[in-house]
């Protein structure tokens, strides 16, 4: 299952100083982290969707609730990662302008 705490903590990790020479590598890492989270959510969503086929009505409600919680956690983590990516891009532009 999706480790909601792992996604939230990964999204909240500090981005470090904004004007680093290795910033493009950091951007690639952030984008890769975002892609991994997306892939993980898709795989877990598919697994839950397969469980729906044979589930009782009560179990279906539980599965739908779990899907909803995972989606909310994913959206929050993605939002935080996208903010870090934008911040990193701003820092790169500022560094290039100062050269």
Question: SS in 3 state form for 9-41?
Answer: HHHCCCCCCCCCCCHHHHHHHHHHHHHHHHHHH
The pair of structure tokens assigned to 86 is: 């934008």
Could you tell me which of 15, 36, 16 has the C-alpha nearest to residue 80? Answer: 15
pTM (2 d.p.): 0.63
Give 26-65 pLDDT, tens digit per residue: 888 888 988 998 999 999 999 999 999 889 999 999 999 9
Per domain, the residue ranges of the chain are 24-98
The CA angle 90-93-98, to the nearest 5 degrees, is 125
Helix (H) or strand (E) holding 55: none
pLDDT, mean of residues 12-32: 64
């Amino acid at each position: 299952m999706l480790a909601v705490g792992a996604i939230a903590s990964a999204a909240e990790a500090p981005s470090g100083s904004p004007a680093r020479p290795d910033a493009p590598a950091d951007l690639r890492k952030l984008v890769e982290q975002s892609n991994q989270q997306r892939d993980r959510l898709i795989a877990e969503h598919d697994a839950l969707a397969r469980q729906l086929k044979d589930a009782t009505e009560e179990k279906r409600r539980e599965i739908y609730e779990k899907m909803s919680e995972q989606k909310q956690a994913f959206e929050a983590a993605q939002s935080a990662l996208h903010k870090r990516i934008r911040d990193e891009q701003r820092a790169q532009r500022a560094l290039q302008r100062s050269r």
